[in-house]
Each structure stands twice: as C-alpha cells, then as structure tokens.
Amino acid sequence: MAKMRAIEAAVHVLRKEGIDTAFGVPGAAINPMYAAMKAVGGIQHYLARHVEGASHMAEGYTRTNVGNIGVCIGTSGPAGTDMVTGLYSATADSIPMLCITGQAPTAKLHKEDFQAVDISSIVEPVTKWATTVMEPAQVPGAFQKAFQIMRSDRPGPVLIDLPYDVQMGEIEFDPDLYEPLEPSKARATRAQAERALEMLNASERPLIVAGGGIFNADASDQLVELAELLNVPVIPTLMGWGSIPDDHPLMAGMVGLQTSHRYGNATMLASDFVMGIGNRWANRHTGSIDVYTKGRKFVHIDIEPTQIGKIFGPDLGIVSDARAALEQLIAVAKEWKAAGKLADRNEWVGQCQERKRTMHRRSDFDNKPVKPQRVYAEMNKAFGQDTCYVSTIGLSQIAAAQFLHVYKPRHWINAGQAGPLGWTVPAALGVAAADPERKVVALSGDYDFQFMIEELAVGAQFNLPYIHVVVNNSYLGLIRQHQKGNFDIDYCVQLSFDNVNAPELNGYGVDHVAVVEGLGCKAIRVFEPDDIAPAFARAQELMKEFKVPVVVEIILERVTNIAMGAEINSINEFEEILDVE
C-alpha cells in the first residue's frame, strides 16, 4: 500500500476507470484535484469559459462513442449550481456523466462559509446519485461506486462533492489493486422474446420503434439485423436517429409533432402493432395517447422498470437492456425463419417505402432572404454520410430533423428532453475532443448560438475544429410560432436591432462574425441562397487549415413557420409540400 492524498487516489481511480479527458474550471476549493491531476498525469483537461459549458462538453464527449464517460470539474458554490442544467440534460437523456465539485472544509459546512452550498441536495432530483464525501478514506470507494452507478441499468449522471480537507487528507491506497465494479444490466428471457415475436407475427402491419437506449446498449447492428430478419420497418425516435441508416429500405421515417417526417407519421397511423425498444414514449413523439395507440398493440422493451406503463400500459412489457433483448429476439427469429414461421411482410414494407418515396416537404427554394429549408438541402449535399450533426432545440433543430439525413449511430447528437439553449457550442466541442477524426457539423439558431458563444474560445485554444451552421432570423422563432398560433401575439421574441457597427446586417442585430473572430475562430456570412454551397466548401477548407471552429452564418427571412401540430394525424404543413409521383 502507498500513502497519498485522498484526491490523488481519486485521480488514480479515474485513470483505472478509463478516464483520460476532463472539462472544467479550477478554483480554490478544487485546486487539490488539479494538483493531483498534474502529479498523476494522463488526463487531458479542457479549460471551459463557464462551468455549465464544461458540463455540456462532458455530455457531448459521452454521447460520441460507446463507453465514454465525460467528466466535468468545478469549484465550490456557484460552480456546482452552474452544472445543474448539464446534469438535468444528462439525466433526461440517460447519459452517464461525472461531475466533481470542490467544497468548503467539513468543519465549516454548517457555518454559511464562502461558497459553501449543499450541492448534493440541490442536484439530487437530476442525478442518479449525488454525495458529499465526509471522510478521506471513503473517497476511492465513492468514485468506484459512482462508475458502477453510471453504467448500471438506465445510465445517468453522478455528482461527487469533495470538501477541501477531505481532498487533502492522507490515506492508504494501492492503485495496482483497484478493479472497477461490474455494472448491472437487466436481460430479457427466451420466453419473453418468443411472446413478443408471437404478437408481432400475428399482426399485419408491424413497426419497430428504436429509441436512444439502442445507442446506450451499442445495439444498432442488432437492431438492423432483427429488422432485416423480420422484414419489419423501423421508426427511430429523435434520440434513436441513426440507429438504422436513413437510406436503409426498412427505415420508415420519424414520428412526432415536430421532429418528424410526413411519411413517418403516415406509416405509424397505418400500423397495427408497435414494438418499442429502448424508448420512453416522449410526448413530442406520441402526441395524445388516444391518437397514438388507437388500433394498435404495443410491446415495450426498456431497461428501466418504471418506464414500463409510465405513459400507457403496453400489451407486453419487458425490462431489459436493448442489446440483450435484441440478441434473444434475433435468436428466436432465426429459428422461426429457418422453419418458415415468419409472416410475409413484402406488401406492408412496399407501402411504407412508397410513402417514404412520395411524401416530402419542399426544400428547393431560391428566395432571398433565404428560406431555412434551402439551408438543410445544401447541408445534405455538402457534408456527406459520415457527418455527425450536433443540435439542441428551436425551429432550427426541428427543421433539421425534418430535412437532414443521418446514416450512422451516434451521428445525431441532440439534447432531447431538456433542450437547453446554449448547449450546442460546448456539446460540439465535447464531440470534437472525443473523436478528432469525426466530421462534426453543429446547427444553431441565433439565440441558441448567443447563449454560450464564449465557449468557441475553447475550440480556438485547444484546436478543436468543427463547422457551426447558424441560421439567423433574429427571432426566438419557435416561441414566436407558438405565441402566434396560441395567443395571436408577437411579444418579446424579436432579437433585431440596428447595429451601429454593422449596418450591412439591416436590423439583424448581433454581428456574429465579429464576435466569432474575436474569440479566435473563423466565420463566413451568407445572404444569397446560391452562396450557401460555396460557403460550406470554404468552411471545410478553413477548418482544415486553421484547426479551429468555423461558423457559417446564413441570414434567413425573418418569419418561416415550420411544419408541426398538436397530433400526429393533424400536422400543419405551412410551406408547399411535394407528393412525388
């Protein structure tokens, strides 16, 4: 055994658990950890400009590759409260992430000491586990438990709060003897798989709904294998987009009130059976339960027992890790196929493919100012099938989900349930840090972009290149559309003003190009629709040359209504739609 500070033992545990990257902001109460990281070595640290930004970088890092766990570090007091949004976002989307905060000495926790706050109590509702460690000798065990909790069952974030004296306390610890704890995963049985396939086989028009749990289980290949064995179309949720390639014959489109395809909604409404795997029946996917469930039976497979029946009672619920369930389903399906027991789905698949071929929204507009639909059409042409898109919320994200294409797992990275403005810039930086070879293209409206624009300096400082497309209508576009549709107002949602330093913006307000360049990055502004493609080409050249984020700002028409509705059977199509013959 070796004698060392407790915080040095914590860093050794991080390394043993596979951590080699962290995002954070140092401060007095967490400086012992920074000293330990320097002494132990092996962890690349990215200095954020805001602790919330660091938490979103850690989220993006986790979401990029199987097995990743992003780490965010902050000092005491407001650093922890700044992390709350990141913890909420990670909890909502089942993302494992470790947040580490410094804390006032244990003897002063009850004395309203400077920046002493009960952060573990504050974040309890938005974490899987949160703890303030009160004894130095308990630090290694707390970190060991944290990793087991994050990886077990439904993944999620953990916060460990470390008082200054606890970090500095000396303990006995031998890193060579450390072993991670085995995470727990629920597994479907053979009998459950047989029952689920009996129900599917008895239906005429079945679908598989694939959620984000497919990615957490690293089960995209198994999903596609099962779909192909059964010849059953797949509807990915927004969080499951990319689990089956967009151009796969069995990819039937997305369903929902906003981030959906016309053909996806039409296919769902035509179905009579749905098997949901690793999804949670989110309300913006389902709309009202009466419309979503009418005339069809459901099997729901999810790793979290409390998700079964939370939104509606399925005809069969199975608590299981997605991969474990898919492996059982594949084994049964192979036997049934060999025995000729699987139903013929060619007619149903053909109907789904015809809807996918014909039911599209128009995107080939030549208008000036630019219509947003044109932007996404140009992105599809410019960036290719290996592109990883990062976005969070707003009309920009909704339109992106309607028009863009995703072909690979974990190549649509989105803050789904929480949807915090400002998430996109730091999350994209986290993705770039996790996979330097990946082609990363982020997408923001102007307001999301402004929320945490300062984090672009992190990309410049640490050479994290990616392309950020900013569609600028100088409006809170989604909120304006909701105000107009529900209250007939347009109130406090305009971002436009005459910028005395940039008259060429004609009332669009903030000069994003100047701000971006001031932060050490590159930027291009586009006014004409025919200039979008050349701008994207130039952005890729600049990114390779300078190894920094490159922003392409496209000035849009001020008001564009994007297709959405209150039910999946009553979507408002505001722009011209195409029914291809």
Q: Is 440 a catalytic residue?
A: no
- Which residues, 6+ apart, have CB-to-CB distance to 223 below 8 Å? 208, 210, 214, 234, 243, 244, 277, 322, 326
Question: What is the spatial distance between Cα 236 and Cα 276, in angstroms, rounded to a whole number?
Answer: 10
User: CA 542, CA 465: separation in Å to the nearest integer?
Assistant: 9
Provide the angle, in degrees to the nearest 10, between the axes of the packed helices 51-64 and 424-434: 50
Angle formed at CA 254 by CA 329 and CA 241, multiple of 5 degrees? 65
Question: What 3-state class would DSSP assign to 155?
Answer: coil
Catalytic pick among 476, 542, 548, 551: 476
Tally Cβ neighbours within 10 Å of residue 447: 23
CA-based end-to-end distance of the chain? 75
Query: In angstroms, what CA-CA distances link 277 with 55, 151, 216, 304, 319?
Result: 28, 19, 12, 11, 10
Task: Give CA separation, 472 vs 83, 203, 248, 396, in Å.
Answer: 28, 47, 33, 9
Active site residue 476: yes
Pair 90, 96: CB distance under 8 Å? yes
d(CA 418, CA 411): 19
425 part of the active site = no
Scan for tokens 């300096």, then name that residue: 457
Active-site option among 109, 269, 479, 493:
479
Could you give the CA distance from residue 310 to residue 281 in angstroms, rounded to a whole number? Answer: 9
Q: Which residue has the tokens 């039409």?
A: 266
What is the secondary structure of 68-117 as a DSSP string? --EEEEE-STHHHHHTHHHHHHHHHTT--EEEEEEE--GGGTTTT-TT--
Which of 19, 30, 40, 51 is catalytic? The answer is 51
- The residues with which 553 forms a beta bridge, in sequence order, are 470, 525
Question: Which of 13, 14, 25, 552 is an active site residue?
Answer: 25
Active-site entry in 14, 421, 532, 571? 421
Asked if 25 is an active-site residue, the reply is: yes
Token pair of 482, please?
């909701």
Q: Minimal CA–CA distance to 11: which of 2, 20, 23?
A: 20
* Type of residue found at 174: D
Active site residue 395: no
Alpha carbons 17 and 145: distance in angstroms, whole number: 11
Read out DSSP for 335-373?
HHHHTT-SPP-HHHHHHHHHHHHHEEE------SSBPHH
| DSSP track, 196-246 | HHHHHHH-SSEEEEE-THHHHTT-HHHHHHHHHHHT--EEE-GGGTTSS-T
Catalytic residues: 25, 51, 421, 476, 479
